[in-house]
Amino acid sequence: MAETVQAAARPMDTGRLWVLPPLLVLAGLFFYPLSLIASQALTGDAGPASFAHFAEVFRSQLFLGALWHTVEIAVAASAGCLVLGFAVALVIAFVPFPGAREVARAIDTFIALPTFLAALAFTFIYGSAGVVNGALIDLFHLETPPVDFLYSPWGVILAEVTVYTPFVLRPLLAAFSLIDIAQIEVASSLGARAPRIIREIILPAALPALLAGGSLCLLLTVNEFGIVLFIGAKGVITLPLLVYDKAIQEFDYTAACVIAIINVALSLSLYMLYRTTIARFGGRNAGVV
Protein backbone atom coordinates (compact mmCIF):
# COMPACT_ATOMS: atom_id res chain seq x y z
CA MET A 1 0.00 0.00 0.00
CA ALA A 2 2.82 2.35 0.92
CA GLU A 3 4.57 1.58 -2.38
CA THR A 4 1.37 2.36 -4.29
CA VAL A 5 1.06 5.70 -2.57
CA GLN A 6 4.70 6.53 -3.29
CA ALA A 7 4.26 5.59 -6.97
CA ALA A 8 1.19 7.78 -7.26
CA ALA A 9 3.04 10.66 -5.64
CA ARG A 10 6.09 10.27 -7.91
CA PRO A 11 6.27 13.18 -10.42
CA MET A 12 5.77 12.31 -14.10
CA ASP A 13 8.98 12.04 -16.10
CA THR A 14 8.46 14.94 -18.51
CA GLY A 15 11.85 14.42 -20.13
CA ARG A 16 10.38 11.78 -22.43
CA LEU A 17 8.01 14.37 -23.91
CA TRP A 18 10.97 15.96 -25.71
CA VAL A 19 10.81 13.10 -28.18
CA LEU A 20 7.51 14.47 -29.52
CA PRO A 21 8.81 17.60 -31.37
CA PRO A 22 11.33 15.68 -33.55
CA LEU A 23 8.72 12.97 -34.19
CA LEU A 24 6.19 15.58 -35.28
CA VAL A 25 8.75 17.22 -37.59
CA LEU A 26 9.64 13.82 -39.10
CA ALA A 27 5.98 12.94 -39.52
CA GLY A 28 5.21 16.23 -41.27
CA LEU A 29 8.28 16.48 -43.48
CA PHE A 30 9.05 12.84 -44.28
CA PHE A 31 6.52 10.18 -43.28
CA TYR A 32 3.38 12.02 -44.46
CA PRO A 33 4.75 12.81 -47.96
CA LEU A 34 6.11 9.26 -48.17
CA SER A 35 2.70 7.88 -47.22
CA LEU A 36 1.10 9.93 -50.02
CA ILE A 37 3.60 8.51 -52.54
CA ALA A 38 2.97 4.96 -51.27
CA SER A 39 -0.79 5.51 -51.45
CA GLN A 40 -0.56 6.75 -55.04
CA ALA A 41 1.65 3.77 -55.95
CA LEU A 42 -0.82 1.28 -54.47
CA THR A 43 -4.16 2.82 -55.46
CA GLY A 44 -3.35 4.77 -58.61
CA ASP A 45 -6.10 7.27 -59.37
CA ALA A 46 -8.44 6.40 -56.47
CA GLY A 47 -8.65 2.70 -57.31
CA PRO A 48 -8.52 -0.21 -54.85
CA ALA A 49 -5.16 -0.85 -53.20
CA SER A 50 -3.15 -3.53 -54.99
CA PHE A 51 0.31 -4.33 -56.31
CA ALA A 52 -0.92 -4.28 -59.91
CA HIS A 53 0.96 -1.07 -60.67
CA PHE A 54 4.18 -2.57 -59.26
CA ALA A 55 3.73 -5.65 -61.46
CA GLU A 56 3.15 -3.42 -64.47
CA VAL A 57 6.33 -1.43 -63.77
CA PHE A 58 8.40 -4.58 -63.23
CA ARG A 59 7.29 -5.85 -66.68
CA SER A 60 8.48 -2.63 -68.32
CA GLN A 61 11.73 -2.92 -70.27
CA LEU A 62 12.34 0.79 -69.66
CA PHE A 63 12.28 0.23 -65.88
CA LEU A 64 14.48 -2.88 -66.07
CA GLY A 65 16.97 -0.95 -68.21
CA ALA A 66 16.95 1.95 -65.73
CA LEU A 67 17.46 -0.46 -62.82
CA TRP A 68 20.38 -2.09 -64.60
CA HIS A 69 21.98 1.25 -65.45
CA THR A 70 21.53 2.46 -61.86
CA VAL A 71 23.25 -0.61 -60.37
CA GLU A 72 25.91 -0.74 -63.11
CA ILE A 73 26.93 2.90 -62.76
CA ALA A 74 26.76 2.85 -58.94
CA VAL A 75 28.95 -0.27 -58.63
CA ALA A 76 31.49 0.96 -61.20
CA ALA A 77 31.69 4.45 -59.70
CA SER A 78 32.04 3.07 -56.15
CA ALA A 79 34.83 0.73 -57.28
CA GLY A 80 36.57 3.67 -58.95
CA CYS A 81 36.21 5.75 -55.77
CA LEU A 82 37.74 2.94 -53.70
CA VAL A 83 40.74 2.46 -56.01
CA LEU A 84 41.43 6.18 -56.48
CA GLY A 85 40.74 7.05 -52.84
CA PHE A 86 43.04 4.31 -51.55
CA ALA A 87 45.88 5.31 -53.89
CA VAL A 88 45.60 9.02 -53.06
CA ALA A 89 45.30 8.34 -49.32
CA LEU A 90 48.43 6.16 -49.43
CA VAL A 91 50.44 8.94 -51.04
CA ILE A 92 49.14 11.64 -48.70
CA ALA A 93 49.60 9.55 -45.53
CA PHE A 94 52.84 7.70 -46.17
CA VAL A 95 54.80 9.60 -48.81
CA PRO A 96 56.20 12.70 -47.12
CA PHE A 97 55.94 15.79 -49.29
CA PRO A 98 55.42 19.43 -48.40
CA GLY A 99 51.80 20.53 -48.41
CA ALA A 100 50.30 17.04 -47.98
CA ARG A 101 47.86 18.27 -45.34
CA GLU A 102 46.76 21.18 -47.54
CA VAL A 103 46.21 18.80 -50.47
CA ALA A 104 44.00 16.59 -48.28
CA ARG A 105 41.99 19.63 -47.18
CA ALA A 106 41.63 20.81 -50.79
CA ILE A 107 40.27 17.40 -51.81
CA ASP A 108 37.94 17.51 -48.80
CA THR A 109 36.30 20.66 -50.16
CA PHE A 110 34.82 18.60 -53.00
CA ILE A 111 32.30 17.33 -50.43
CA ALA A 112 30.89 20.85 -50.14
CA LEU A 113 30.53 21.42 -53.90
CA PRO A 114 27.33 20.69 -55.87
CA THR A 115 27.51 17.47 -57.86
CA PHE A 116 26.62 19.06 -61.19
CA LEU A 117 29.79 21.17 -61.01
CA ALA A 118 31.94 18.19 -62.02
CA ALA A 119 29.63 17.47 -64.97
CA LEU A 120 29.83 21.13 -66.04
CA ALA A 121 33.61 21.14 -65.74
CA PHE A 122 33.91 17.92 -67.75
CA THR A 123 31.78 19.49 -70.49
CA PHE A 124 34.34 22.28 -70.83
CA ILE A 125 37.24 19.80 -70.83
CA TYR A 126 35.99 16.68 -72.64
CA GLY A 127 32.86 17.95 -74.42
CA SER A 128 32.52 18.06 -78.21
CA ALA A 129 33.75 21.67 -78.23
CA GLY A 130 35.88 21.27 -75.11
CA VAL A 131 39.53 22.00 -74.51
CA VAL A 132 40.80 18.49 -75.27
CA ASN A 133 38.80 17.98 -78.47
CA GLY A 134 39.61 21.50 -79.67
CA ALA A 135 43.35 20.93 -79.20
CA LEU A 136 43.29 17.50 -80.90
CA ILE A 137 41.24 18.78 -83.86
CA ASP A 138 43.62 21.69 -84.40
CA LEU A 139 46.70 19.51 -83.95
CA PHE A 140 45.71 16.61 -86.22
CA HIS A 141 43.26 18.48 -88.50
CA LEU A 142 40.40 16.14 -87.64
CA GLU A 143 36.83 16.64 -88.83
CA THR A 144 35.06 15.15 -85.81
CA PRO A 145 35.86 15.29 -82.08
CA PRO A 146 38.00 12.23 -81.26
CA VAL A 147 37.10 12.17 -77.55
CA ASP A 148 33.41 11.35 -77.16
CA PHE A 149 33.16 9.23 -74.01
CA LEU A 150 31.56 12.02 -71.99
CA TYR A 151 28.04 11.38 -73.31
CA SER A 152 28.15 7.70 -72.42
CA PRO A 153 27.96 5.75 -69.13
CA TRP A 154 31.73 6.26 -68.81
CA GLY A 155 31.25 10.02 -68.61
CA VAL A 156 28.72 9.61 -65.79
CA ILE A 157 31.00 7.16 -63.96
CA LEU A 158 34.04 9.44 -64.27
CA ALA A 159 32.09 12.44 -62.96
CA GLU A 160 30.74 10.43 -60.01
CA VAL A 161 34.22 9.11 -59.18
CA THR A 162 35.51 12.68 -59.14
CA VAL A 163 32.71 13.88 -56.87
CA TYR A 164 32.50 10.96 -54.42
CA THR A 165 36.15 9.89 -53.97
CA PRO A 166 36.55 12.27 -50.96
CA PHE A 167 33.90 10.20 -49.17
CA VAL A 168 36.39 7.29 -49.28
CA LEU A 169 39.51 9.39 -48.83
CA ARG A 170 38.43 11.03 -45.60
CA PRO A 171 37.82 7.85 -43.50
CA LEU A 172 40.93 6.27 -45.03
CA LEU A 173 43.16 9.12 -43.88
CA ALA A 174 41.62 8.85 -40.42
CA ALA A 175 42.28 5.10 -40.37
CA PHE A 176 45.85 5.55 -41.63
CA SER A 177 46.57 8.04 -38.84
CA LEU A 178 45.95 5.23 -36.31
CA ILE A 179 48.54 2.88 -37.82
CA ASP A 180 51.73 2.58 -35.77
CA ILE A 181 54.51 3.79 -38.08
CA ALA A 182 56.95 1.62 -36.12
CA GLN A 183 55.28 -1.46 -37.64
CA ILE A 184 56.02 -0.21 -41.14
CA GLU A 185 59.57 0.77 -40.25
CA VAL A 186 60.28 -2.64 -38.70
CA ALA A 187 58.79 -4.48 -41.68
CA SER A 188 60.82 -2.33 -44.04
CA SER A 189 64.04 -2.92 -42.07
CA LEU A 190 63.41 -6.67 -42.32
CA GLY A 191 63.29 -6.45 -46.09
CA ALA A 192 59.54 -6.23 -46.76
CA ARG A 193 58.81 -4.31 -49.95
CA ALA A 194 56.06 -1.74 -50.36
CA PRO A 195 53.45 -4.13 -51.91
CA ARG A 196 53.84 -6.57 -49.01
CA ILE A 197 53.63 -3.78 -46.40
CA ILE A 198 50.46 -2.50 -48.04
CA ARG A 199 48.96 -6.00 -48.26
CA GLU A 200 49.81 -7.22 -44.75
CA ILE A 201 49.85 -4.05 -42.59
CA ILE A 202 48.05 -1.15 -44.22
CA LEU A 203 45.19 -2.92 -46.02
CA PRO A 204 43.90 -4.86 -42.96
CA ALA A 205 43.89 -1.65 -40.92
CA ALA A 206 42.10 0.22 -43.72
CA LEU A 207 39.49 -2.46 -44.42
CA PRO A 208 36.74 -1.00 -42.13
CA ALA A 209 37.20 2.45 -43.68
CA LEU A 210 37.17 0.98 -47.19
CA LEU A 211 33.98 -0.96 -46.53
CA ALA A 212 32.24 1.99 -44.89
CA GLY A 213 33.40 4.46 -47.57
CA GLY A 214 32.46 2.09 -50.38
CA SER A 215 29.00 1.48 -48.89
CA LEU A 216 28.44 5.24 -48.55
CA CYS A 217 29.55 5.83 -52.16
CA LEU A 218 27.21 3.08 -53.34
CA LEU A 219 24.33 4.69 -51.46
CA LEU A 220 25.05 8.15 -52.89
CA THR A 221 25.65 7.05 -56.49
CA VAL A 222 22.44 5.00 -56.58
CA ASN A 223 20.51 8.22 -55.88
CA GLU A 224 22.60 10.54 -58.05
CA PHE A 225 20.39 12.70 -60.26
CA GLY A 226 22.19 15.94 -61.13
CA ILE A 227 25.21 14.41 -62.86
CA VAL A 228 23.12 12.01 -64.96
CA LEU A 229 20.70 14.75 -65.99
CA PHE A 230 23.42 17.32 -66.72
CA ILE A 231 25.60 15.03 -68.83
CA GLY A 232 22.57 13.64 -70.69
CA ALA A 233 24.33 10.49 -71.83
CA LYS A 234 22.56 8.78 -74.72
CA GLY A 235 20.46 5.83 -73.60
CA VAL A 236 21.53 6.19 -69.96
CA ILE A 237 18.42 6.39 -67.80
CA THR A 238 18.71 5.66 -64.07
CA LEU A 239 15.89 5.24 -61.55
CA PRO A 240 15.95 8.87 -60.27
CA LEU A 241 15.96 10.14 -63.87
CA LEU A 242 13.08 7.78 -64.77
CA VAL A 243 11.04 9.15 -61.84
CA TYR A 244 11.66 12.66 -63.18
CA ASP A 245 10.66 11.66 -66.72
CA LYS A 246 7.46 9.91 -65.62
CA ALA A 247 6.34 12.70 -63.25
CA ILE A 248 7.41 15.87 -65.07
CA GLN A 249 7.38 14.96 -68.76
CA GLU A 250 4.74 12.21 -69.03
CA PHE A 251 2.53 13.20 -66.03
CA ASP A 252 2.30 9.50 -65.13
CA TYR A 253 2.39 10.03 -61.38
CA THR A 254 1.40 6.48 -60.48
CA ALA A 255 4.37 4.98 -62.33
CA ALA A 256 6.63 7.69 -60.92
CA CYS A 257 5.49 6.87 -57.36
CA VAL A 258 5.98 3.13 -57.89
CA ILE A 259 9.54 3.67 -59.16
CA ALA A 260 10.21 6.13 -56.32
CA ILE A 261 9.11 3.54 -53.74
CA ILE A 262 11.41 0.94 -55.32
CA ASN A 263 14.26 3.47 -55.31
CA VAL A 264 13.60 4.27 -51.64
CA ALA A 265 13.61 0.54 -50.77
CA LEU A 266 16.92 0.13 -52.61
CA SER A 267 18.40 3.15 -50.82
CA LEU A 268 17.26 1.96 -47.39
CA SER A 269 18.78 -1.47 -48.06
CA LEU A 270 22.10 0.13 -48.93
CA TYR A 271 21.87 2.38 -45.87
CA MET A 272 21.35 -0.68 -43.66
CA LEU A 273 24.39 -2.24 -45.34
CA TYR A 274 26.38 0.92 -44.57
CA ARG A 275 25.34 0.97 -40.90
CA THR A 276 25.91 -2.78 -40.51
CA THR A 277 29.35 -2.45 -42.05
CA ILE A 278 30.33 0.31 -39.62
CA ALA A 279 28.92 -1.56 -36.62
CA ARG A 280 30.51 -4.89 -37.54
CA PHE A 281 33.89 -3.88 -38.91
CA GLY A 282 34.36 -0.38 -37.51
CA GLY A 283 35.10 -1.51 -33.97
CA ARG A 284 36.94 1.14 -32.04
CA ASN A 285 37.57 3.04 -35.26
CA ALA A 286 33.86 3.36 -36.06
CA GLY A 287 33.85 6.93 -34.85
CA VAL A 288 36.21 8.05 -37.57
CA VAL A 289 34.10 6.59 -40.39
9: pLDDT strictly greater than 60? no
- Of 107-116, 129-138, 201-210, where does mean pLDDT reach its minimum? 107-116
Predicted confidence at residue 288, as pLDDT, reads: 43
287: pLDDT strictly greater than 70? no
For residues 206-231, give the mean pLDDT. Answer: 88
Instruction: Report d(CA 197, CA 183) in Å as an integer.
Output: 9
The 8-class DSSP code of residue 12 comes to P
Rg for the chain, CA atoms, rounded: 25
Instruction: Report d(CA 268, CA 164) in Å as an integer.
Output: 19
| Residue 144, Ramachandran bin (φ over 0: left; ψ between -120 and 50: alpha; else beta) | beta
pLDDT band at 112; cut points 50, 70, 90: confident
Q: How many C-beta atoms surround the C-beta of residue 114 within 10 A?
A: 11
